[in-house]
Amino acid sequence: MPEHATSQVSRTESGVWTPRIVGFLCYWCSYTGADAAGTARMKYPGNVDIIRVMCSGRVDPELITTAFSRGADGVLVCGCHIGDCHYINGNHKTMARMPLIRKVIEGMGIEPDRFRHEWVSAAEGEKFKEVVTDMTAKVTALGPLNWPQLMYDRGVGHGHDLKPWGE
């Protein structure tokens, strides 16, 4: 097996595997909601690596597939509720795109529970906590995705070799 195909991308804490979930959160509502959960000292799994974007409408499909192809076990997209987007209709694009993205990634062999889209307002720290807790449990039950290896085994992709990405 090539060296680059064996690298471990998920986390291990105390020898126990835990998933890596990439969370794209819009700045105005969902990121503030996550912040509210932290400020209120709510306890939830620390498995989500948060990437702050200005609007959930900014999250194009390539960002999601790139996260999976770079080793994420799950991807979460959160934005303002419909009617609350600070760019008026950015989340209308999100609402239209997410079901399509779900179909595409399922077609690529990624289980549905590995991808989640939620509306989380700045005041919904509790909801953010519940979403992260539930998603982490579901992705943990599925186990590591290791999509780069999966694609490599199928004869496509570059495994964990990041040279094609310029790294």
57 forms part of the interface with ligand FES (CB under 6 A): yes
Classify residue 165 by its DSSP letter.
Answer: G
Alpha-carbon separation of residue 71 from 51, 67, 77, 135, 151 (angstroms) = 15, 7, 17, 17, 12
Q: What angle do CA 95, 97, 99 make, to 5 degrees?
A: 80
Residue among 34, 37, 55, 76 that touches ligand FES (CB under 6 A): 55
Residue among 47, 91, 136, 140 that touches ligand FES (CB under 6 A): 91
90 forms part of the interface with ligand FES (CB under 6 A): yes
Q: How many residues bind ligand FES (CB under 6 A)?
A: 13
| DSSP reduced 3-state for 142 | helix
Residue among 72, 85, 110, 120 that touches ligand FES (CB under 6 A): 85
Chain residues that interact with ligand FES, rule: CB under 6 A: 26, 28-29, 55-57, 79-80, 85-87, 90-91
